[in-house]
């Protein structure tokens, strides 16, 4: 079975763009379209860099459970913490687009790696399902990091994203070790919880703060 990287890329980008479209609803006037687009593209580039570094460091074994979350969150934080975005409400939204771009890369990469190891359509399908969970996770942690930059509590929210991310990488380590790919559907559920929490409990805070100032 052969899956072209060019085709599989859309399996990550399309759902990521759809989530971005939904996530921006109700936030008109809080962001600039060009920066949303730019942050999404930067996220894709960072995702490629991160994936390449992680593939090269798989030999580290169980250490990847902690090292991968630190690496991925640091890469996103470096972009979101530039002086232009500090203390800005819009940074929360740019964190969403950055995270979605970052997560979209892992779908084609997961498919390509799975295709090298097996011809099973079921296993490859389960990998695709699990990688959608990555998109949700990266979107959620992007929002959290953006909120940390906005509120000036960077360390607090940076550590929170790492804590949230560790169970995800631990699950991938275990599924890779014991070959139980079919259970990766649980990653969708975990990703949904993270995304729901960040978008409904954190991202909407910027709307609530604005309403309080208008009263």
The secondary structure of the chain as a DSSP string is: ----HHHHHHHHHHHHHHHHHHHTTT-TTSS-HHHHHHHHHHHHHHHHHHHHHHHHTGGGGGGHHHHHHHHHHHHHHHHHTSGGGTT-THHHHHHHHHHHHHHHTHHHHHHHHHHHH---HHHHHHHHHHHHHHHHHHHHHHHHHHHHHHHT-HHHHHHHHHHHHHHHHHHHHHHHHHT-GGGGHHHHHHHHHHHHHIIIIIITHHHHHHHHHH-
Quickly count: other Cβ atoms within 10 Å of residue 136's Cβ: 27
- CA-to-CA distance for 26 and 93, rounded, in angstroms? 11
Q: Which tops the pLDDT comparison, 95 or 120?
A: 95
**Across 62-68, average pLDDT:** 89
The per-residue pLDDT for range 73-116, each reduced to its tens digit, is 999 999 999 999 999 999 999 999 999 999 988 877 766 665 55
Residue whose pair of structure tokens reads 């953006």 in the numeric block: 146
pTM value is 0.86
**Across 57-81, average pLDDT:** 90
Least confident of 57-61, 116-120, 177-181, 206-210: 177-181
Q: Which tops the pLDDT comparison, 170 or 197?
A: 197
Q: Which of 14-23, 32-41, 43-52, 120-129 has the highest mean pLDDT?
A: 32-41
Whole-Å CA distances, 66 to 58, 72, 169, 202:
12, 10, 8, 24
Domain spans of the chain, in order of start: 5-214
- CA-to-CA distance for 147 and 170, rounded, in angstroms? 25
- CA-to-CA distance for 128 and 107, rounded, in angstroms? 6
């Amino acid at each position: 079975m052969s899956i072209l990287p060019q085709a599989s890329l859309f399996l990550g980008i399309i759902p990521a763009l759809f989530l971005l479209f939904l996530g921006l609803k109700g936030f008109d006037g809080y962001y600039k379209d060009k920066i949303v687009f730019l942050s999404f593209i930067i996220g894709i580039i960072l995702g490629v860099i991160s994936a390449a570094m992680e593939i090269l460091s798989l030999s580290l074994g169980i250490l990847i459970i902690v090292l991968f979350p630190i690496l991925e969150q640091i890469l996103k934080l470096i972009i979101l913490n530039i002086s232009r975005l500090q203390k800005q409400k819009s940074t929360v939204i740019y964190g969403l687009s950055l995270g979605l771009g970052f997560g979209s890369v892992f779908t084609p990469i997961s498919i390509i790696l799975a295709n090298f190891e097996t011809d099973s359509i079921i296993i490859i399908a389960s990998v695709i399902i699990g990688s959608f969970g990555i998109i949700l996770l990266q979107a959620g942690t992007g929002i959290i990091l953006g909120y940390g930059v906005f509120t000036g509590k960077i360390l607090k929210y940076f550590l929170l994203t790492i804590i949230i991310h560790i169970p995800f990488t631990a699950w991938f380590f275990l599924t890779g070790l014991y070959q139980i790919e079919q259970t990766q559907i649980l990653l969708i559920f975990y990703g949904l919880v993270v995304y729901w929490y960040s978008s409904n409990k954190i991202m909407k805070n910027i709307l609530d703060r604005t309403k309080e100032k208008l009263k």
